[in-house]
Structure 1
């Protein structure tokens, strides 16, 4: 904690020196703190660990070799410093510490410092224009209609160059960008033979706003190198999945392993839509198609669709009811013809604050079941923005989903490899499997910037023994999953 204080003091001194050096530079510091306990029983529906990759070869360890610790106390501190030279030029530096009490930074007497930089980018307008340029480690998100929280394809911090401009006032904008998501070996490859170890993302969005309608058509292209660290680079900031599961096909794990080509292209196209013409009834939807490695071996190809649709009624002050559903293509019975699921990289999708998905939980660590909505279909309903008592706000949601994947496809991979991270029970559902989940969350405003919160979740799953084996399924049947998080959030 002492070293963290020294870091914050150093940033403050830097801010003061910047102000002395040039009086026109304005320095603003904002941030937040979250301290909360999490009771969670039934991780992965079993209370045991899920399988995980141990190298980029790839190698892995199986599921069910460790048992859960049901209670943890998490603390996150984030500090954001903006150095503002003018309305046309600024720089942001943001750092954070995020760990459990008794581990790393929060270890008594002999802590290990675990400070992370999660934003560091320059932002400016081109002279005499409204064209905004952002360069550096920054938040990047592909479009998704707002009822579904954030993009199913990519939402994360990324080292990127992004250019934004308005083409038609109040009607048409454009955003184009490039991000380097992975560069495994950095300057030098392991030997004198050069290898393709990068994953790059290019994207273009065109938000269109007219009376009663906002539509955002978009497209993205990724250039994926064969030797990038897909098995060791997490696609989820919470460590639930790597790029391998979300981007590659199951066939890439079967002999001959990996890709034939040194590089493969991945492509996505879609549109996010929000219809407000019937306000206070509002409609939301997304249509996305993605494909990748189409010029490689048949077993390495991956392509599929993802569609979601939702509605809400905003005419009441006390609450907002929502309904939603989605559908996506799933695996057919063969892994030798590639994958029929849409590839994605870093999803943050989830309606109604659902406990089933990694989406909008405020107490983010150890917060959800990490189910992949790609390869599944589902429906749900939620009541959000519930305000019955002054200073209290609630959110209640129910979600049911059903798998769209062939049991044979998953069974064949499990038979060939054993317990492996590519397909995981509870995350990837066959068409004979389903999950039901509920969440109820409450916020109480102690002060304007200080809230007390409780987040709860429950999930029940039905799984196939012929796919996952009796040991895991029997454990899942022995009890449902429960989560209760409670703590404080402070913004400054």
Structure 2
């Protein structure tokens, strides 16, 4: 209640300022989401490790809501400030989210973004400073590297109507280290725990052609990931470390390096010159320097059964989309291929690293619809390949649209990697709301179906029904080789149905 009163007081002060300072124009916009869904999103029904049985017992039905409010204080075209509040997600019935009896919760109201925009007088040089949305240039299926909110400074300059330049400095992590790390003595809290990213982007727009080459250099301190901390959109321990189920914080050795280098580059482009044909392509590369080694056990935890693994990670990914616009809808074909692990832990991982990827080719394994409720997945497609067909924005009745997709997911990771995994459920370690997506070997696969129906009841009010199903082609014989002892497990298909009511203004 105290947080809500604080928010209302702040809004009142801003509105009061608008009355006394007519030169400032206040603009408000926002979105209310209320959703109901039933789903099974765990690919493992049950598994056994020795004498211990673990069965999936997660709830299948849920109800949630979320409110986002944005207020812009505009002094002129050259100066403005923005604050963006988020209330939720609130799961109905959950006390600490304010959804239980009495509706008083903690940590419900959050400042999602807060930044200022300003321009250098008499120039085309513009700056944005503060917590802001940062999405690296992308085409064909969303960003495979970073699409999230972060504390950053961006500077952009438009040379002419065709060519521009954008520079970025972002600090996604700093001052999270609690000083407790058994790898080192004389630890100091908040020491060498920052991560900084520096990027340059060159957007080029020509008649019927767009391309934005970009590159980003990063540096992470040796203590950046030493203390567990979570983010809403992703988990850096999965997107930067080599393998799920192997290289956790607890078993990575120390390093003499104060900082490690990171590097990414991308070449996204789109061809629209042949309208109604649309072609999009995105090529990415990423590298993260090794920051310590770890013991990767193959079989029982015995000195004779382990190799020293490297935390280096580097790889590449290519994505493409071809669409043809028609009167009744937009049929298209899409696909991707990402490099995979070669089975040798000594040379690190060959999957492309990322910060917070947001793949959106599909809407179950991906962010292709609202990306909310059961399926707010940060998918980067690393270590996988896929091919899909879609027909989007089909409309046969006024104000009602449909999008249908079918996509096959395959793996590019060596089956030899399974021997180093903890257990059969390691296949699912990369599959939950905090991380990047499933870890698939060359013997595994998924077949995904999506049907999204959107009805615009009023100008600002949509009703969205999404149905999804994933056929699980996880290879039993491959994954029974996981862990210290052979694992027995029972896989299952995944499915969902969710109904979302969205009011936007």
Same fold (TM over 0.5): yes
**TM-score normalized by the length of structure 1:** 0.87
Instruction: Decide whether the 8 Å contact of 1:354 with 1:398 is kept in 2.
Output: no
CA contact (8 A) 1:302 1:342 kept: yes
Matched, 1:281 2:277: yes
Specify the alignment match of 1:58 in structure 2: none
Within-5 A mapping of 1:97-246: 97=87, 98-103=89-94, 104-109=97-102, 111-113=104-106, 114-145=108-139, 147-148=140-141, 150-167=142-159, 169-185=160-176, 193=188, 195-229=191-225, 232-234=228-230, 237=233, 241-246=234-239
| Pairwise CA distance, 1:350 | 2.2
Deviation at 1:255, TM superposition (A): 5.9
How many residues align? The count is 465
Pick closer, same or farther for the CA change 1:409–1:174 going to 2, 3 Å: same
Report the Cα distance in structure 2 between the residues aligned to 1:454 and 1:118, rounded to whole angstroms: 27
Which sits farther off after the overlay, 65-74 or 441-450?
65-74
Secondary structure at 1:9 match in 2: helix
CA distance in 2, matches of 1:192, 1:303: 30
In the alignment, is residue 96 of structure 1 matched against residue 104 of structure 2?
Answer: no
* Cα pair 2:310 2:347 within 8 Å, conserved: yes
Structure 1 residue matching 2:82: 3-state secondary structure: strand
Note closer, same or farther for the CA distance 1:389–1:473 as it changes in structure 2 (3 Å cut): farther
In structure 2, what is the Cα distance between the partners aligned to 1:402 and 1:289? 20
Pick aligned residue for 2:77 from 63, 87, 105? 87
The equivalent position to 1:292 in structure 2, one of 272, 278, 288, is: 288
Mapped contact 1:287–1:307 kept (Cα < 8 A): yes
Out of 365, 377, 380, the residue aligned to residue 388 of structure 2 is 380
Q: 1:319 aligns with which of 320, 325, 329?
A: 329
List runs of 5+ in structure 1 lacking aligned partners: 50-61
Distance 1:361 1:235, change over 3 A: farther
Pick one of 349, 353, 377 that aligns with 1:339.
Answer: 349
User: d(CA) in 2 for partners of 1:349 and 1:182?
Assistant: 22
Q: Structure 1 residues 337, 466: CA separation in 2 closer, same or farther (over 3 Å shift)?
A: farther
> Which position in structure 1 is the counterpart of 2:501?
488
Shift of 1:332: 0.6
CA distance in 2, matches of 1:111, 1:205: 45
8 Å Cα contact 1:308-1:326 kept in structure 2: yes
SS at match of 2:420: helix
8 Å CA contact 2:152, 2:171 repeated in 1: yes
Report deviation, 1:173.
0.9
- Distance (whole Å) between structure 1 residues aligned to residue 78 and residue 54 of structure 2: 54
Contact 2:388 2:408 in 1 (8 A): yes
* Counterpart Cα distance in 1 of 2:86 and 2:430: 32
1:450 lines up with 2:461 in the alignment? yes
